[in-house]
Amino acid sequence: MTWRISGEYMETCNCDYVCPCIYTHMTAPPTEGDCKVAIAMQIDAGSKDGTDLGGVRFIVMMMSPGPMADGDMVVGLIVDEGASDAQVQAVTEIASGQAGGPMAAMAPLVATFAGVERRPVRFEIDGMSRHVTAGDMVDQTCIAVMGGARPGEPIYLENTAHPANHKLALARNGHSRFDAFGITWDDASGTRNGHFAPFAWKG
């Protein structure tokens, strides 16, 4: 059966702004040597195999020891604790690429799937900022880098190969704290990379 989900996405990572993975198609070394990222998704509408996924929030945690295109990545999944077992299963298949869709292209680069954890995931939108928490595992904020030609809009990167969307708002982290699946990071410098965008996936 086919599936569709849509909603809002945001992320921060440990790379300096702007992350070289985006403009080198994941072939550049991360600015810290390794890449640590929390890709947060809030599903506003959608379903898979008859399971309604509207309202489910999840975070894909990734760590790459070098350029992401080289693979050997560790990936773990955090799903909101309010999701049912059927919803967790559906999200796991989508987020891991097992069900096809945008994340399927990432699957060959993953050496270790570290499992699924349930936490109270919160996804907050406040104008041009995004804030996501997942219990004791993730607390991250990104703030848009504003453009000049159209006041009130961020600068965008377009025609990217990012799985969330081909058009991403540029942002910097307000703070980023990860402690999940052996992936740890803590930074509040405001100099690290972030993105946000709506997303629409299908498989």
| Closest to 39 (Cα-Cα) out of 59, 69, 14, 19 | 59
Using the predicted structure, report yes or no on whether residue 1 has a pLDDT greater than 90: no
* Mean pLDDT calculated for residue range 145-165: 95
Residue 177 has pLDDT above 70, yes or no: yes
The number of distinct structural domains making up the chain is 1
- Under DSSP, is residue 179 helix (H, G, I), strand (E, B) or coil? strand
Q: For position 30, what pLDDT does the model report?
A: 97
Tokens standing for residue 119: 């936490």
pLDDT tens by residue, 38-97:
999 999 999 999 999 999 999 999 999 999 999 999 999 999 999 999 999 999 999 999
Burial of 123 (0-12, 13-18, 19+ CB in 10 A): buried
Instruction: Return the pLDDT at 121.
Output: 98
At 172 the pLDDT is: 98
pLDDT 10s digits, 183-194: 999 999 999 999
Q: pLDDT tens digit string along 33-55?
A: 999 999 999 999 999 999 999 99
Question: Mean pLDDT throughout 97-112?
Answer: 96
Residue 119 lies in a domain: yes
DSSP, collapsed to helix, strand or coil, labels residue 43 as: strand
8 Å CB contact between 173 and 140: yes
> Per the domain annotation, does 63 fall within a domain?
yes
Residue 139 domain-assigned (yes or no) = yes
Instruction: Identify the domain containing residue 197 by its residue range.
Output: 7-202
Please check whether residue 137 lies inside any domain of the structure. yes
- Neighbouring CB atoms inside 10 A of 30's CB total 23
- As a whole number, mean pLDDT of residues 190-202 equals 98
Query: Could you give the 3-state DSSP secondary structure of residue 127?
Result: coil
| pTM reported for the whole predicted model | 0.97
Task: Establish if 35 belongs to a structural domain.
Answer: yes
49 is a domain residue:
yes
Q: How far is CA 171 from CA 30, 92, 96, 108, 199, in A?
A: 17, 27, 26, 28, 17
Spatial distance between the Cα atoms of 103 and 174, rounded to a whole number of angstroms: 27
Q: Above pLDDT 90, what percent of the chain? A: 99
Does residue 195 register a pLDDT over 70? Answer: yes
Q: With respect to residue 185, please indicate whether it lies within any of the assigned structural domains.
A: yes
